[in-house]
Amino acid sequence: MRKNGFLTVYTLWVGLIMVFLASSTCLLSVQFLKQIPYRRQCVQMDYDVQAVLRDCVEEMQGQSMAKKREFLQAPMRRCQALHPEYEVQGEEMHYDPIFFGYPTPGYVSVRIHDTKRHIWRWGSLKVQTQKEADGSYKTIILHGVRD
């Protein structure tokens, strides 16, 4: 009798643990499926961040870093016009070419905040502006930086 009682209690505990594991797995899968629209939105925002960064580098082409030019403003305004729910922020940092000369390294950073879904995405590019032999300026992307 004792052996049967022990096996019954043991079986009940194993069954209880199995039910707990099955229900928690089900709950986790439901939570994951709920996140799919969020993940899609994040992928879209990552794409938008990279597009704004590429536009910023295109705006920089042919410009001397000694000239303080707001090359971030036009790409950010274009992104804001396409997605009114986004709040777009950008910043750039370059060494002063007067003191350091060319090539001038720097960073261009963009942050996008989806005000509707409260999601933030950001990205940075490490760039370098070179002075060519003909006197023109060329900005190249050294690599992307994950913040």
Which pLDDT belongs to residue 17? 92
DSSP track, 72-93: THHHHHHHHHH-TTEEEEEEEE
Mean pLDDT of 9-24: 88
In angstroms, rounded to a whole number, what is the distance separating the alpha carbons of residues 58 and 45? 20
Other CB atoms closer than 10 Å to residue 11's CB: what's the count?
A: 10
Which pLDDT belongs to residue 4? 66
Which pLDDT belongs to residue 104? 82
Structure confidence by residue, pLDDT tens digits, 69-128: 677 888 888 888 888 888 888 888 887 777 877 888 888 888 888 888 888 888 888 888
CA atoms within a 13 Å half-sphere pointing along the CA-CB vector of 25? 6
